[in-house]
Amino acid sequence: MRSSNKFILLILSTITLISLVTESRKTIPSQEKKRELEKLLNHINKPAIKSFQSKHGYILDCIDIHKQLAFDHPLLKNHSVQLKPTTIPKWTRDNNTSQKSTSLPFRQEEDIICPPGTVIIKRTTLEDLIQFQRLESLGLKPTSKDRNDDPPGHYTAVAQYYALNFGGKGNINVWDPQVEPDQYSLSSLYVQGGRREDFETISAGWIVSPKLNHNHSSLFLAWSANKKGCYNTLCPGFVQVSRKFPLGSVARPVSKYGGKQYHLEISIYQERLTRDWWYVLKGEPVGYWPNPLFSYNGLAEGADNVWWGGEVFSADKNRISPIMGSGFVPQDDFGKAAYINGLRVIDRYSRKVMMPPAKDLVVYASSPTCYNVKTISRRGEYWSRAIFYGGPAGCTVR
């Protein structure tokens, strides 16, 4: 029987782990600490009905959909699983899109798919757990409402849309920027709501960090609800429903400078009837955050802003900041600079899908001498509202 005691134990273990991780570069975990971590891993990794070995070295488990970690959350004790959204936004599609806007033909390696009644989850390892918590301690956490809260070494280049909404969409150009230890580079779509004291957010996209999939771009989610944050499926809350798209898996193929471009078609939106928040990848519902997780002043009743863009972080003051996107500034344009196109939002009042008006897109770069962002409006549905963003490595940690 699920209990809040297990959830509390998980949180307490995670707090203990964070203190360990902050010193993991200097010390080797003791046998006692390792045993604590193993207990935490046994709680996170639920019994698998079937497992697969990925060609990138990690294990993919097929978990009973009703026995996944999500339901260890005390607020989801009696939750009924929603296998798919009851309503689906009519996202505008471009039937005449040129080959320059090729969508990422994302599929799990070797066409891996779990049996009916199960969901696919990337198995967490001891090293994964240490690195995920290190990333959080280094700054990978839901974006703050206050830009002044950014930790030293953290840089963003984003387009922001401030208006009441029920979610957004974007095609996120995928790259494999090389980064150094204690750094990361990512690109994502953010949906956010609430005041400073009850600020809540959901983001999805790709991330590159040395210890995560050996510096390969990987799918990720980061979210916060009721003052608690999480990454992928490392804690209770996010309900996975997909049998083929595991979070944390390598995103392939990636774009090449001057060559073929690929992007992840991502949408995050609040379903109309249940008011759950759904994460959809290339038209496939991957999973959702049940409405009870969120506060009334946060995301329970919709969002108040949507962001698109890139982030980088470097903890070491002796290193320059890493590449953002492709490593080229927005003026370099298609095939060179990274992009997010097909920007869409769901209007809070009409509930209709719309392009955010160009005049209402606010661009923000925390260090424009290193990284920048620009909006563009061209012909075609994908490019009628889009951004280019990014820049080379080069900022010193401020």
Reply yes or no on whether the pLDDT at 23 is more than 90. Answer: no
Sign of torsion, CA 34 39 41 42?
A: positive
Cis, bond preceding 89 (omega within 30 deg of 0): no
Percent residues over pLDDT 70 in the chain: 81
Residue 28 confidence class, pLDDT cut points 50, 70, 90: low
Domain that holds residue 278: 47-390
Is 336 part of a structural domain of the chain?
yes
Count the domains in the chain. Answer: 1
Give the highest mean pLDDT range of 154-158, 275-279, 280-284, 334-338: 275-279
Q: Which helix (H) or strand (E) holds 122?
A: strand 118-122
Q: How much is the pLDDT for 322?
A: 92
Percent of the chain with pLDDT over 90: 54
pLDDT digits (tens, 9 = 90+) for 229-263: 888 888 899 999 999 999 999 998 899 999 999 99
Which tens digits make up the pLDDT trace of 293-324? 999 999 999 999 999 999 998 887 777 889 99
pLDDT confidence band for 382 (50 / 70 / 90): confident
Is the pLDDT at 1 greater than 50? The verdict is no
pLDDT of 306: 97
Instruction: Please tell me what DSSP assigns to residue 182.
Output: T
Q: Which amino acid is residue 273, in one-letter code?
A: L
Give yes or no for residue 160 having a pLDDT over 70: yes
The pLDDT of residue 16 is above 80: no
With cut-offs at 50, 70 and 90, classify the pLDDT of residue 333. Answer: confident
Residue 338 lies inside a defined structural domain of this protein:
yes
76: nearest Cα among 9, 141, 15, 6:
6
If you average pLDDT over residues 92-121, what whole number do you get? 66
In a domain, 98, yes or no: yes
Q: Report the DSSP pairing between strands 200-208 and 183-193.
A: antiparallel
Reported confidence tier of residue 227, pLDDT bands at 50, 70, 90? confident
The pLDDT of residue 99 is 40
pLDDT attached to residue 168: 97
pLDDT at 197: 77
Is there a domain that residue 22 lies in?
no
pLDDT digits (tens, 9 = 90+) for 136-150: 555 555 444 445 556
From the CB of residue 25, how many other CB atoms can be counted at a distance below 10 Å? Answer: 11
C-beta of residue 219 within 8 angstroms of C-beta of residue 247: yes
With respect to residue 29, please indicate whether it lies within any of the assigned structural domains: no
Q: Is residue 23 part of a domain?
A: no
Under 8 Å between Cβ of 229 and 15: no
**Is the pLDDT score of 3 beyond 50?**
no
Report how far apart the first and last C-alpha atoms of the chain are (Å, whole number).
49
- What pLDDT is stored for residue 381 in this prediction? 67
Residue 32 lies in a domain: no
**Arithmetic mean of pLDDT, 7-22:** 37
Q: What mean pLDDT is predicted for residues 259-286?
A: 94
Task: Work out the mean pLDDT of the chain and round it to a whole number.
Answer: 83
Give the pLDDT score at 365: 93
Q: What is the pLDDT of residue 394?
A: 78
Residue 174 in any domain: the answer is yes
pLDDT band at 14 (very low <50, low <70, confident <90, very high): very low
Which residues on neighbouring strands pair with residue 222, listed in sequence order?
203, 231
pLDDT tens, position by position, 52-64: 998 888 899 999 9
